[in-house]
Amino acid sequence: MTLADQWNRIERGLDPRWSEAQLVLVIDDETRLDRAAALLAPAGPGRSGKSIRFTAGRGGTAVGPEAVRRLVHRLDEEGIDGTLELLSAESSAPEHATARAALTDTWDAALAPLPTDWSDLLCEVELTSSDHLERGALLLAPVNPLRAAALLGFRFRVARSFGYGAAPGMARRCLARLDEEGIPGRVRVLRALSDTHPVGTQGPVWTIGGKAV
């Protein structure tokens, strides 16, 4: 298993409220320790024997989860093998804190008041941290997410039966993938049309900030 895959597995196992994670990387080949430490330099690593320790964090001074992914990927690219393990993790909220609603639940709630003949939607999913943007874009790829400068997240279109946009079921599945990886946020329906019948086009066009979406 690559180091990047090991980090993905560790991250998926963390509490959704995690704020800081202490990690240790044990390098198989001691002759590659110096190079490994150099590649991990942005994380401020500490060495002890064959082990390199560093901290990942969200919203603090430690490197974020996406930065960790990039750093260990560089080690993978140079063929540096090792074992990445979680030493400890801290959460930013107490156990009794109110849980954030799942994105799939807010998606269902957003669709509930729409008219029964809705045909096209313009939606957005807003994430709580920029650390999740890269991973979020990958998980949302099937709905063709569009980054908006003023939004910490993405806009996407949904078409119920035909036309331009993802199917409702695919949109919900992509949001479920974010939920499964503990990526918090909220989803909203910005605009909705009912019973559209495009002729010679793939569907309606909305204009936001002078740009067609």
Q: Given a cut of 90, is residue 24 above it in pLDDT?
A: yes
The more confident residue out of 159 and 60 is: 159
Rounded Cα–Cα distance for residues 103 and 172 (Å): 8
pLDDT band at 97 (very low <50, low <70, confident <90, very high): very low
Tens digits of residue pLDDT in 41-60:
998 899 888 899 999 987 66
CATH topology of domain 3-91: Alpha-Beta Plaits (3.30.70)
Domain ranges in the chain? 3-91, 103-194
User: Residue 69: its pLDDT value, please?
Assistant: 92
